[in-house]
Amino acid sequence: MKRDNVVERKALEWLKQRGVTVDDIAELVHFLQGPYHSDLKLSICKENVERVLKKREVQNAILTGIQIDVLAEKNALEEPLANMVRRDEGLYGIDEIIALSIVNIYGSIGFTNYGYIDKQKPGILKDLNDKSNGQCHTFLDDIVGAIAAAASSRLAHSFAHEDEDFDDD
């Protein structure tokens, strides 16, 4: 029986609507893992992102985070939550908690990858953190960073087990 992939399709569609592509996330993975693998191809990074995006808990995080961001943009959240989400208040932290649920999928290396990329904000993360366009990406920027960190961890594990048949499913 083929698994219903409505949730996966919707998560990918919402990412695209918010300006995030699989290639954008793959570039973040390359940013994280490139220094350790001089011949790392973007296609390998993309493959690892796609595998992470197949995980239901990742899809659920994407849908939840984007929905909260959109509700904040539409002023459909009540105060004081609305203001905390719109401003991406540092002490709010729920956006990071959702991201950590993604990071945790591939072990502790994901935490260090996530912390690093969250501070550096390269590529699409810089764009998502630009508040000048009126969009709210309080949750999305952390989710995208977490997907990149998880894919980077998956890739690191696969390189560590090159002699073995690495399969996380």
> Cα–Cα distance between 110 and 45 in angstroms, integer?
15
User: What percent of the chain stands above pLDDT 70?
Assistant: 92
pLDDT of residue 133: 86
Domain coordinates in residue numbering, the chain:
6-160
pLDDT of residue 126: 96
pLDDT of residue 95: 96
Mean pLDDT of 123-146: 95
**Angle 153-104-146 from CA coordinates, rounded to 5°:** 65
> Cα–Cα distance between 113 and 33 in angstroms, integer?
9
pTM of the model as a whole = 0.92
Q: At the fourth CATH level, which superfamily is domain 6-160?
A: PgpA-like (1.10.3760.10)
Mean pLDDT of 147-167: 78
